[in-house]
Structure 1
Amino acid sequence: MINQNPKRSDEPIWWGLFGAGGTWFAMISPVTILVVGLLLPLGIINPDAFSYENMTHFMANIFGALFTIGTLALPIWHAMHRVHHGMHDLKFHTGTAGKVACYAFAFLVSALAVVFVLMVG
């Protein structure tokens, strides 16, 4: 028999953030690591392009601010969703407390990313 009044789930919200974070981490983070971690130290990119003044101008721009927030916030949502479901898979059932702890930590990092961008930009 089909339940005519199913309970609403909040899981689509977490799966959406999980997917966005995983996509960001797979597509954008490697390029960021390549540029900042390899090309810049090897001198292939001019270090003046990443000066403090240029970076503050970048973060003052809406696209730069969103890029910085996305780089800091989205992968943590992905990671915390994995931690939450990983604990369940390992038979470490924390219930609602574990869910709240994981997603609260991700929210805290996201809020700190926004504060960071607002303070610098």
Structure 2
Amino acid sequence: MEEFKGDKRTKAYRDWKAKQEKESKGLGDTVEKVLEKTGVAKVAKFILGEDCGCDSRKELLNRMFPYEKPNCLTEDEYDYLANFFGERRATITSEQQKSLVNIYNRVFNDNVKGTSCAPCFVNSILKKLEKVYRKYK
């Protein structure tokens, strides 16, 4: 979650906080919103009682299918990516791949390993890093 800059006693802060709480963290939050809008959640709580298992389902779905929310790049990571994407290359050395994997794992909270399959690396890691880098430009 991003940090609010400004006075926390203002309406802008209350609006920002409501937006942050409303954002879906994963599929479970989206399913919950749909069920609440259609009225199914109220019917389920009426029939099954207060504990209908909705919260556990929501947590399970959020863990299984989270929405990607990348962390911010550090200044060093941004500089490295600017240098890397500044010039097009035909090959990527193993040192470059290790650095890119480390940046990717930190930014996306993932634990991927380097690969010798060039298309796999480009499609799974490099394109996502380039998309994050382009948003900073």
Task: Tell which structure's C-alpha radius of gyration is larger.
Answer: 2
TM-score over 0.5 for the pair: no
TM-score, normalising length: structure 2: 0.26
> Comparing both structures, which one devotes a greater share of its residues to helix?
1
Q: Which has the higher contact order (CA 8 A, sep 6+)?
A: 1
